[in-house]
């Protein structure tokens, strides 16, 4: 069994989760048993699973596992009237998001519904005789009490208690105290299979869980999707295979991946513990070579590092023949909206080109710190036809990419731009700054991706204007689909097979 | 069903517990279903209930929700305790053990004395040695209560009582109260159908318990509230139909010489102000009933003695010649209102007339009064004359040995001790205070009534009895006879007024 070790699965996922989910689908469709493992404490986890078009069996959450949620056999309790609350209590549900529960005139609790679900109990805050909050309960969307929090008189959480969903017994307690005004987890106590376990750090619990969960599996392969999960995986027993995924650039300088300082996130996994992994997977051969050289090995020699470094694409594309026409003049950027200066280049290039081609429009899809600022800029400068739809879930994003005439990006670095490749798979040509590891690795001949030297905004404007000077992009569109086919499931599977991890 | 509502029935019993136990015997004798209800938490009380043979007669609030009744346990011991993985157990001092993990003490364990390493409590510690939580074990062997602490402030934050499966069933949360102190601000109880009920205080959950119990026993039960003060609000706010009875276990006024105007004994203020709620208000003596009715003529007051003399006891008369005629007994708690120091003072005079006179004080001390009595004995140089015997559940056997009984109380509600002494044929010298002594002791016939705090008179009557064997023997014989007024049959006849009303009028 292959286990993809992640913190979470949320509604707004980063490329790390997207990559792991694509891998999950690839493995499943090739009859390779695989599971997406999450380790976060979040009672809304089951909803995320549904939203990602996965089955409950595909995703295993550590806390769900200890709470035995998969074995839930009671009658689900979703609504206020089903809760074990006294008959004498009354509730006011005039608010669509919450209900206030009273005994006579005294407020005993407030029930917060699960976002997006009608009057379905999510969180219950309880109030004491003096109106102070003393306890919170979390009700799983599947209809049972999953955990509760106890609060100190000073208002900080003291304990989080996880319940077994059938016996309603506490199975795991997380203890907190305050250090320098921060609420810090300092102890975890687990009751499992008749034994009590005490941990001082969540990583110790994670190691324990992974050992228990993979216990009967002689062929377990664990993929560390986030570098800061390397420690708990390495502290597991020796008999499982451990694979380090490198989801970001490995040095601190995007333009120098051979001699610059190591990205701090990899200090533990690559600098200190490389030999403890069975394999390291990076997304491109280019990065594999750079990393081997960074480690003092030779670029093309798999055996020149303590642990072999393989290139396996994290993007998996499904190129399809265009099913609907492109919207003339539609430009799209989709991705993180964090780097204000870089993203401004897109807006400027667009506004300049629009002066010459008034039919142009721009979609800035995504979320991030620069979202508000960019929106305000656009409003202030009165630039027409720019939309900010926010983070788009997979089908909506696909629709936008399909109908776009051009994908425009100004990012500075990435191990492999997933959305850019997705755009290509919908036959959408690209204009991009050059960056590691991106356009030039994907399309060395610039058939579908026009590459501009980084931070040369005037050149970028020029290329956009040049692109829209002609309306015939058929050759570029065809090239896009052809290039995207290099990342088809078959090709990526072959890359996995070359690593020997598939057994 | 008749429920007798008390707070606790422990090893050391006050007159109220004795009265309830005697009443229970009487009810059983007459085939009436009756149970004692107790409301206080006490995780070692089971041992004394076993000694008293009361296990099946008492329903405790905590036991009820913890579902412990009639379940046999294998006591949790050091040997059966499952330690955290990789942890080591070390003995520190007597009954104290430590559990060490990674060179840190993570648990401190205390075991019960006189057991095979049976666990009393376990304190769980953080890396700085501060208490995270404490597990308390019931003497029967199961984990009964868990106290959770805020380690930053060493504040007790949540008290949690667990049922026998480990499920929390009662919880007290400590938050900031209106005095800006950290104290209990909300109570929760997992009641019928596993519904969590929330209460502002103890009265709320007691009331809830009484109602659930009432329903569990088919409703419409009779409740005799023997602790008028402790269960005050709960007793009058039950929501299920029931038959409440109030009980004066002591004087209802603070000044029994001014029964019409005296301030009320605080224990009974609530009950008196809410007297209409109760079907009957029981006093133990006719004198008290008369006084109560004088002030509140509409009150449904009734006299029922709080004890009785068994037929076996009535048949068992000791030959007076075999007694230690110059030994007197005081059978009462060592408490300020019992005024044992008066007896000490009297004994100084008695010794002058009766050189071999001795005294035995039986009873447990309240507060520091025991020390005061000790000091008084020392000052009077009577250490060899007056013995402090402590509490005994078999003090009645001593009453068959000694020659007379003395009670120098300032006030009484009935005085079980006087009845006990009378039924054992003891001549008595007792203070003529309300309520009890003048109803029980017939002056000059089975003993003497003396003025409160009149040491000379007290001493004179003791001397009179000790120095006149003929008188002492006569008083003794009369005591046996007078005790017959309180035979089971006679006392039950008075109970029947209540039981008839409950069973024939209320229930039908």
Residue B457 has pLDDT above 90, yes or no: yes
Q: Do B150 and A86 touch (CB under 8 A)?
A: no
Q: Do A169 and B101 touch (CB under 8 A)?
A: no
> Domain boundary at B276, B303, B330, which?
B303
Cβ-in-10-Å burial (0-12, 13-18, 19+) of B59 comes to: middle
- Whether the CB of B132 is below 8 Å from some CB of chain A: the reply is yes
What percentage of chain B exceeds 90 in pLDDT? 84
Q: Which residue of B has its CA nearest to A191?
A: B84
Residues A197 and A256 in one domain: no
- As a whole number of angstroms, the distance between CA B508 and CA B504 comes to 6
Specify the pLDDT at position A31: 96
Q: Do A150 and B148 touch (CB under 8 A)?
A: yes
Tell me how crowded residue A356 is: count the other CB atoms within 10 A of its CB.
12
Residue B477 has pLDDT above 70, yes or no: yes
- As a whole number of angstroms, the distance between CA B69 and CA B434 comes to 41
Average pLDDT over residues A481-489: 95
Residues B424 and B402 in one domain: yes
- Whether the CB of B83 is below 8 Å from some CB of chain A: the reply is yes
Tens-digit pLDDT profile for residues B351-408? 999 999 999 999 999 999 999 999 999 999 999 999 999 998 889 899 999 999 999 9
- Whether the CB of B266 is below 8 Å from some CB of chain A: the reply is no
Cβ B291 vs Cβ B259: under 8 Å? yes
**B448 strand-pairing partners:** B429
Question: Which CATH number do you get for residue B193?
Answer: 2.20.110
DSSP assignment of A69-114? GGG--S----SGGGSS--TTEEEE--SSSEEEEEETTEEEEEEEEP
Which residues of A lie inside 8 Å of B (Cβ-Cβ)?
Answer: 84-86, 103, 106, 108, 126, 128-130, 132, 134-135, 150-154, 158-159, 167-170, 175, 177-178, 186-187, 194-198, 200
> Domain boundary at A311, A345, A374, which?
A311
- Tell me the chain A residues in contact with residue B85 when contact means C-beta distances shorter than 8 Å: 195-198
Listed residue (B84, B167, B86, B145) closest to A194, CA to CA: B84
Listed residue (A429, A408, A410, A418) closest to A332, CA to CA: A408
- Whether the CB of B176 is below 8 Å from some CB of chain A: the reply is yes
Residues A462 and A339 in one domain: yes
Residues A232 and A359 in one domain: no
Cβ B459 vs Cβ B448: under 8 Å? no
Specify the pLDDT at position A358: 95
Cβ B87 vs Cβ B99: under 8 Å? yes
Residues B325 and B465 in one domain: yes
Residues A352 and A447 in one domain: yes
Residues B208 and B238 in one domain: yes
Q: Do A128 and B175 touch (CB under 8 A)?
A: yes
Give domain status of residue B506, yes or no: no
When divided into structural domains, chain A yields a total of: 3
Cβ-nearest to B132 among A129, A134, A187: A187
Cβ A425 vs Cβ A481: under 8 Å? yes
Q: At a CB cut-off of 8 Å and minimum separation 6, what does B44 contact?
A: B112, B138, B139
Q: Which residue of A has its CA nearest to B176?
A: A153
DSSP assignment of B276-294? GG-SEEEESSHHHHHHHHH
- As a whole number of angstroms, the distance between CA B508 and CA B497 comes to 16
Mean pLDDT taken over chain A? 93
Residue A268 has pLDDT above 70, yes or no: yes
Q: Which residue of A has its CA nearest to B101?
A: A198
Cβ B43 vs Cβ B121: under 8 Å? no
Listed residue (B360, B387, B85, B37) closest to B227, CA to CA: B37
- Pairs of residues, one from chain A and one from chain B, whose beta carbons lie less than 8 Å apart: 94
Question: Which CATH number do you get for residue A59?
Answer: 3.40.50.2000
Give domain status of residue A74, yes or no: no
- Whether the CB of B81 is below 8 Å from some CB of chain A: the reply is no
Parent domain of B478: 311-486
Lowest mean pLDDT among A44-58, A184-198, B418-432, B445-459: A44-58
Q: At a CB cut-off of 8 Å and minimum separation 6, what does A139 contact?
A: A43, A77, A78, A83, A121, A122, A123, A124, A145, A146
Tens-digit pLDDT profile for residues B228-259? 899 999 999 999 999 999 999 989 999 988 99
**How close does chain B come to A310, measured CA to CA in Å?**
39
Give domain status of residue B500, yes or no: no
Residue A339 has pLDDT above 70, yes or no: yes
Cβ-nearest to B186 among A85, A129, A187: A129
3-state secondary structure A132-162: CEEEEEEEECCCEEEEEEEECCCCCEEEEEE
Task: DSSP letter for A256, please.
Answer: B
Residue recorded with tokens 């499931």: A489
**How close does chain B come to A196, measured CA to CA in Å?**
5
Cβ-nearest to A158 among B106, B157, B165: B157
Residues A355 and A460 in one domain: yes
Residues A239-256: b if buried by 16+ CB within 10 A, e if exposed: ebbbbbbbbbbbbeebee
Q: Which residue of B has its CA nearest to A187?
A: B126
Residues B216 and B261 in one domain: yes
Give domain status of residue A179, yes or no: yes
- Tell me the chain B residues in contact with residue A186 when contact means C-beta distances shorter than 8 Å: 126-127
Listed residue (B262, B210, B282) closest to B241, CA to CA: B210
Cβ-nearest to B185 among A132, A169, A175: A132
Residues B358 and B469 in one domain: yes
- Tell me the chain A residues in contact with residue B193 when contact means C-beta distances shorter than 8 Å: 84
Q: Do A129 and B200 touch (CB under 8 A)?
A: yes
Residues A344 and A482 in one domain: yes
Give domain status of residue A442, yes or no: yes
Tell me how crowded residue A189 is: count the other CB atoms within 10 A of its CB.
21
Cβ B447 vs Cβ B441: under 8 Å? yes
Give domain status of residue B481, yes or no: yes
Average pLDDT over residues A45-60: 84
Edge to edge, the sheet with strand B119-125 lists B88-91, B96-101, B104-111, B119-125, B131-137, B143-150, B155-162, B168-176, B182-190, B196-199
Residues A374 and A480 in one domain: yes
Residues B61 and B198 in one domain: no
Question: Would residue A147 be called left, alpha or beta, if left means φ above 0 and alpha means ψ between -120 and 50 degrees?
Answer: beta
Residues A112 and A232 in one domain: no
Residues B427 and B318 in one domain: yes
Specify the pLDDT at position B94: 86
- As a whole number of angstroms, the distance between CA B421 and CA B486 comes to 13
Mutate to test the interface with B, among A145, A158, A167 (most CBs of B within 10 A): A158
Strands, E, within A233-287: which ranges?
241-245, 279-282
Q: At what angle do helices B369-379 and B340-353 cross, to 10 degrees?
A: 20
Residues A84 and A195 in one domain: yes
Length of chain B: 508
> Domain boundary at B252, B278, B303, which?
B303
Give domain status of residue B504, yes or no: no
Question: Which CATH number do you get for residue B383?
Answer: 3.40.50.2000
- As a whole number of angstroms, the distance between CA B410 and CA B339 comes to 7
- Tell me the chain B residues in contact with residue A198 when contact means C-beta distances shorter than 8 Å: 84-85, 87, 101, 106
Question: Would residue B458 be called left, alpha or beta, if left means φ above 0 and alpha means ψ between -120 and 50 degrees?
Answer: alpha
Cβ-nearest to A85 among B85, B166, B196: B196
Residues A88 and A189 in one domain: yes
Give domain status of residue A323, yes or no: no
Specify the pLDDT at position B354: 96
Residue B70 has pLDDT above 90, yes or no: no
> Domain boundary at A159, A188, A203, which?
A203
Strands, E, within A375-473: which ranges?
386-390, 406-409, 430-433, 449-452
Mutate to test the interface with A, among B148, B186, B188, B200 (most CBs of A within 10 A): B186
Give domain status of residue A75, yes or no: no
Average pLDDT over residues A429-455: 94
Residues B470 and B402 in one domain: yes
Strand B131-137 to A89-92 pairing? unpaired
> Domain boundary at B252, B274, B303, which?
B303
Cβ A447 vs Cβ A476: under 8 Å? yes
Residues A92 and A122 in one domain: yes
Residues A158 and A173 in one domain: yes
- Tell me the chain B residues in contact with residue A150 when contact means C-beta distances shorter than 8 Å: 148, 157-158, 173
Q: Which residue of B has its CA nearest to A194?
A: B82
Residues B45 and B94 in one domain: no
Residue B263 has pLDDT above 90, yes or no: yes
Cβ B197 vs Cβ A126: under 8 Å? no
**How close does chain A come to B129, measured CA to CA in Å?**
13
Give domain status of residue A502, yes or no: no
- Tell me the chain B residues in contact with residue A168 when contact means C-beta distances shorter than 8 Å: 167
Residue A370 has pLDDT above 70, yes or no: yes
Tell me how crowded residue B270 is: count the other CB atoms within 10 A of its CB.
18
Average pLDDT over residues A261-280: 97
Residues B299 and B316 in one domain: no
Residue A303 has pLDDT above 80, yes or no: yes
Q: Do A158 and B150 touch (CB under 8 A)?
A: yes
Q: Do B84 and A178 touch (CB under 8 A)?
A: no
Residues B276-294: b if buried by 16+ CB within 10 A, e if exposed: eebbbbbbbbebbbebbee
Give domain status of residue A165, yes or no: yes
Residues B435 and B345 in one domain: yes
Parent domain of A190: 80-203
Specify the pLDDT at position B195: 94
Residues B153 and B177 in one domain: yes
When divided into structural domains, chain B yields a total of: 3
Tens-digit pLDDT profile for residues B16-67? 999 999 999 999 999 999 999 999 999 989 888 888 999 899 999 999 999 9
Specify the pLDDT at position B71: 66
């Amino acid at each position: 069994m292959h286990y993809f070790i992640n913190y979470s699965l949320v509604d707004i996922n980063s490329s790390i989760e997207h990559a792991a989910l694509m891998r999950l689908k690839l493995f499943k469709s090739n009859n390779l048993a695989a599971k997406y493992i999450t380790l976060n404490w979040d009672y809304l986890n089951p909803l995320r699973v549904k939203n990602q078009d996965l089955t409950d069996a595909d995703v295993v959450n550590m806390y769900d596992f200890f709470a035995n949620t998969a074995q839930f056999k009671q009658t689900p309790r979703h609504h206020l009237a089903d809760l074990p609350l006294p008959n004498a209590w009354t509730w006011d549900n005039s608010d669509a998001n919450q209900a206030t529960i009273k005994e006579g005139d005294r407020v005993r609790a407030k029930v917060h519904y699960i976002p997006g679900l009608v009057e379905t109990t999510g969180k219950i805050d309880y109030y004491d005789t003096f109106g102070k909050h003393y306890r919170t309960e979390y009700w799983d969307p599947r209809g049972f009490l999953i955990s509760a929090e106890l609060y100190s008189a000073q208002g900080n959480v003291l304990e989080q208690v996880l319940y077994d969903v059938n016996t309603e017994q506490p199975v795991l307690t997380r203890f907190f105290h305050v250090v320098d005004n921060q609420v810090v987890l300092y102890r975890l106590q687990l009751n499992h299979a008749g034994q009590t376990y005490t941990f001082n750090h969540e990583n110790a619990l994670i190691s324990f869980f992974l050992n228990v969960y993979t216990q009967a599996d002689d062929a377990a392969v664990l993929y560390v999707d986030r570098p800061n999960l390397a420690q708990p995986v390495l502290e597991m027993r020796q008999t499982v295979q451990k694979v380090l995924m490198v989801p970001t650039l490995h040095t601190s300088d995007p333009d120098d991946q051979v001699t610059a300082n190591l990205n701090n996130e990899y200090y533990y996994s690559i600098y200190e513990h490389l030999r403890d992994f069975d394999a390291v997977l990076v997304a491109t051969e280019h990065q594999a070579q750079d990393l081997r050289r960074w480690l003092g090995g030779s670029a093309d020699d798999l055996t020149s590092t303590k642990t072999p470094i393989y290139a396996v694409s994290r993007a998996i594309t499904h190129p399809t023949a265009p099913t609907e026409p492109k919207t003339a003049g539609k430009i799209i950027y989709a991705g993180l909206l964090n780097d204000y200066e870089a993203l401004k280049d897109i807006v400027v290039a667009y506004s300049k080109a629009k002066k010459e081609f008034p039919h142009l429009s721009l979609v800035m899809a995504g979320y991030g710190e620069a979202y508000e600022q960019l929106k305000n800029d656009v409003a202030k400068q009165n630039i027409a036809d720019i939309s900010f739809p926010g983070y788009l879930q997979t089908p909506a994003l696909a629709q936008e990419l399909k109908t776009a005439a051009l994908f425009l990006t100004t990012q500075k670095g990435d191990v492999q731009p997933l959305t850019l490749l997705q755009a290509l798979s919908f036959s959408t040509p690209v204009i991009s700054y050059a960056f590691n590891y991106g356009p030039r690795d994907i399309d060395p001949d610039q058939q579908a991706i026009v590459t501009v030297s980084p931070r040369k905004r005037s050149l970028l404007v020029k290329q956009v204007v040049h692109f829209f000077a002609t309306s015939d992009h058929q050759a570029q569109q065809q090239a896009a689909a052809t290039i995207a086919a290099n990342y088809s499931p078959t090709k990526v599977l072959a890359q996995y097979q070359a690593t020997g991890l598939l057994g | 069903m008749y429920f007798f509502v008390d707070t606790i029935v422990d090893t050391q019993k006050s007159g109220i517990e004795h009265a309830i136990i005697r009443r229970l015997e009487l009810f059983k004798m007459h085939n009436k279903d009756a149970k004692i209800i107790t409301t206080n938490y006490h995780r070692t009380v089971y041992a004394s209930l076993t000694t008293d043979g009361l296990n099946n007669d008492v329903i405790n609030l905590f036991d009820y929700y913890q579902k412990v009744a009639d379940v046999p346990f294998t006591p949790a011991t050091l040997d059966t305790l499952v330690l955290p993985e990789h942890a080591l157990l070390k003995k520190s001092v007597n009954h104290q053990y430590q559990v060490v993990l990674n060179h840190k003490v993570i648990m401190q364990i205390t075991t019960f004395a006189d057991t095979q390493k049976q666990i009393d409590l376990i304190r769980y510690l953080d890396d700085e040695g501060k208490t995270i939580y404490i597990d308390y074990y019931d003497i029967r062997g199961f984990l009964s209560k868990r106290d959770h602490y805020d380690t930053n402030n060493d504040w007790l934050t949540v008290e949690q009582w667990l049922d026998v499966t480990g499920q929390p069933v009662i919880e007290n949360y400590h938050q900031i109260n209106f005095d800006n102190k950290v104290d209990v601000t909300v109570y929760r109880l997992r009641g019928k159908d596993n519904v969590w009920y929330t209460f502002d205080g103890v009265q709320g959950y007691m009331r809830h318990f009484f109602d659930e119990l009432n329903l569990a026993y088919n409703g419409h039960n009779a409740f005799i509230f023997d602790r008028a003060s402790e269960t005050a609000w709960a007793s009058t706010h039950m929501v299920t139909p029931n038959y409440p009875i109030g009980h004066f276990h002591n004087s209802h006024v603070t000044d029994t010489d001014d029964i019409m105007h005296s301030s009320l004994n605080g224990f009974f203020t609530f009950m008196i102000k809410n007297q209409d709620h109760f079907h009957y208000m029981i006093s133990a003596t006719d004198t008290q009933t008369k006084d109560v009715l004088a002030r509140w003529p509409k009150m449904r007051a009734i006299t029922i003695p709080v004890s009785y003399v068994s037929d076996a006891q009535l048949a068992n008369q000791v030959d007076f010649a075999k007694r230690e005629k110059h030994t007197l007994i005081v059978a009462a708690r060592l408490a300020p209102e019992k005024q044992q120091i008066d007896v000490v003072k009297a004994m100084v005079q008695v010794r002058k007339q009766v050189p071999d006179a001795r005294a035995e004080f039986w009873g447990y001390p309240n507060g520091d009064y025991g020390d005061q009595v000790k000091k008084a004995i020392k000052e009077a140089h009577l250490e060899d004359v007056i013995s402090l015997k402590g509490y005994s559940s078999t003090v009645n056997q001593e009453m068959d040995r000694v020659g007379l009984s003395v009670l120098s109380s300032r006030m009484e509600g009935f005085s079980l001790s006087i009845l006990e002494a009378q039924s054992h044929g003891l001549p008595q010298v007792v203070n003529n205070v309300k309520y009890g002594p003048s109803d029980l002791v017939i002056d000059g016939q089975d003993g003497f009534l003396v003025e409160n705090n009149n040491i000379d008179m007290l001493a004179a009557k003791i001397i009179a009895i000790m120095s006149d064997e003929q008188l002492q023997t006569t008083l003794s014989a009369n005591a046996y006879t007078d005790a017959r007024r309180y035979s089971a049959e006679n006392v039950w006849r008075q109970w029947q007024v209540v039981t008839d009303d409950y069973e024939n009028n209320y229930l039908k």
